[in-house]
């Protein structure tokens, strides 16, 4: 396994008995910022009492120091421009575009199924501002696929809607209304690296290393254990070129509520180090590192 050194982030887990997990990281103006989901009730409790899904949403915005330790936290995050009806947000993934921090996340509104949304993030002020639910013209959105990721190029913003079996790519049409237009939808060849011929989902926002993009994708096995693989995308077409033969991260021994749930939410390169952030057992947040050279050699 490439990423092995799990380091738990020092959050106030007692404050949120349902977990502080699924953290996402981004580097902006030489600062490493992050966001993680905070829950008063765990998933089993929320499954039993659906009304618990729509208590006011909470999150933590935080800063990591150069040793990847928590240096600052904001638990009183303000959510602006969100619906008046009860709602909840999950699966935050941060990225930088036009020198601003944004995030994608799910947006569930009581009585409605909206899906994914785009928000602007101000970590210094502790504010998340909803821009709009994401719309991809000419694409029928699938309710079960939540793991969309953005590809923030220098002048354009792409949305990678799904990875496998259909590699689906869109491009930004209008930022504030979160409108995208479909570019391509390609049926990829079945995997030959041990992955089963079923849904492979997106884990991280792609990172540009050299002349190609790199990201992690995941698949759950029959025992609901997450396994993440490295993928290289072509810099011009953004189409996948190669996927690692073996997973670089796997669950199965997680602490928390679910032993299989080692869920990766971001991949960054900082100098010679690659860092991933992950949720452990839907309860805790952590980071792992590996040399960038070893990440590239895994392909």
3-class SS at 43?
helix
Q: How far apart are CA 254 and CA 257, in angstroms?
A: 8
Q: Using DSSP bridges, classify how beta strands 78-80 and 127-133 pair: parallel, antiparallel or unpaired.
A: parallel
How many domains does the chain contain in total? 1
Whether 248 is covered by a domain: the verdict is yes
For residue 40, give the CATH number of its domain.
Answer: 2.115.10.20
Tell me if 87 sits within 8 A of 57, measured CB to CB.
yes
Whether 4 is covered by a domain: the verdict is no
Q: Percent of the chain at pLDDT above 70? A: 99
Whether 2 is covered by a domain: the verdict is no
Residue 36: pLDDT over 60: yes
At a CB cut-off of 8 Å and minimum separation 6, what does 21 contact?
36, 37, 39, 256, 263, 279, 280, 281, 282, 283, 284, 285
- Residue 77 structure tokens: 């995050």
Whether 284 is covered by a domain: the verdict is yes
pLDDT band, very low/low/confident/very high, at 119 (cuts 50, 70, 90):
very high
Which residue reads 């995997």 in tokens? 191
- Residue 156 structure tokens: 């354009």
The pLDDT value recorded for residue 98 is: 95
pTM comes to 0.96
pLDDT, tens only, 270-295: 999 999 999 999 999 999 999 999 99
Residue 91: pLDDT over 70: yes
Tell me if 62 sits within 8 A of 36, measured CB to CB.
yes
In eight-state DSSP terms, residue 191 is: P
Whether 250 is covered by a domain: the verdict is yes
pLDDT, tens only, 166-194: 999 999 999 999 999 999 999 999 988 88
The pLDDT value recorded for residue 179 is: 96
- Average the pLDDT over 218-239 and give the result: 96
The pLDDT value recorded for residue 144 is: 59
pLDDT band, very low/low/confident/very high, at 145 (cuts 50, 70, 90):
low
Q: Using DSSP bridges, classify how beta strands 112-122 and 127-133 pair: parallel, antiparallel or unpaired.
A: antiparallel
At a CB cut-off of 8 Å and minimum separation 6, what does 177 contact?
131, 132, 135
Whether 1 is covered by a domain: the verdict is no
The pLDDT value recorded for residue 58 is: 96
The pLDDT value recorded for residue 154 is: 85
Which range of residues forms the domain containing residue 237? Answer: 10-297
Whether 140 is covered by a domain: the verdict is yes
- Residue 70 structure tokens: 């928590």
The pLDDT value recorded for residue 143 is: 65
pLDDT band, very low/low/confident/very high, at 147 (cuts 50, 70, 90):
confident
The tally of CA atoms less than 13 A away on the side-chain side of residue 269 is 17
Residue 1: pLDDT over 90: no
Higher pLDDT, 248 or 155: 248
Q: Look over the chain and give the mean of its residue pLDDT values, rounded to a whole number.
A: 95
Whether 242 is covered by a domain: the verdict is yes
pLDDT band, very low/low/confident/very high, at 28 (cuts 50, 70, 90):
very high
């Amino acid at each position: 396994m490439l990423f092995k050194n799990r380091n738990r982030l020092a959050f106030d887990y007692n404050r949120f008995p349902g977990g502080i997990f699924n953290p996402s990281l981004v580097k902006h103006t030489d600062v490493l910022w992050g966001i993680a989901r905070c829950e008063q009730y765990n998933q089993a409790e929320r499954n039993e009492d659906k009304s618990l899904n729509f208590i006011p949403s909470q999150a933590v915005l935080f800063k990591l120091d150069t040793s990847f330790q928590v240096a600052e936290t904001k638990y009183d995050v303000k959510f602006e421009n969100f619906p008046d009806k009860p709602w909840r947000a999950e699966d935050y993934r941060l990225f930088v575009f036009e020198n601003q921090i944004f995030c994608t996340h799910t947006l569930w509104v009581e009585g409605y199924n909206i899906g994914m949304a785009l928000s602007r993030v101000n970590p210094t002020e502790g504010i998340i501002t909803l821009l709009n639910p994401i719309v991809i013209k000419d694409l029928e959105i699938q309710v079960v696929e939540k793991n969309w990721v953005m590809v923030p190029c220098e002048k354009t913003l792409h949305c990678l809607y799904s990875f496998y079996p259909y590699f689906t790519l869109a491009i930004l049409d209008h930022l504030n209304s979160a409108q995208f237009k479909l570019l391509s939808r390609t049926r990829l060849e079945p995997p030959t690296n041990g992955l089963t011929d079923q849904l492979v989902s997106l884990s991280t926002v792609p990172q540009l290393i050299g002349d190609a993009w790199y990201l992690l994708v995941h698949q759950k096995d029959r025992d609901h254990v997450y396994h993440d693989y490295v993928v290289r995308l072509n810099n011009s077409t953004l189409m996948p070129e190669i996927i690692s033969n073996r997973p670089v991260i796997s669950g199965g021994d997680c602490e928390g509520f679910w032993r299989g749930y080692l869920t990766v939410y971001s991949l960054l390169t900082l100098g010679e180090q690659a860092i991933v952030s992950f949720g452990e057992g839907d309860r805790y947040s952590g980071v792992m590192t590996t040399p960038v050279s070893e990440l590239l050699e895994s392909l």
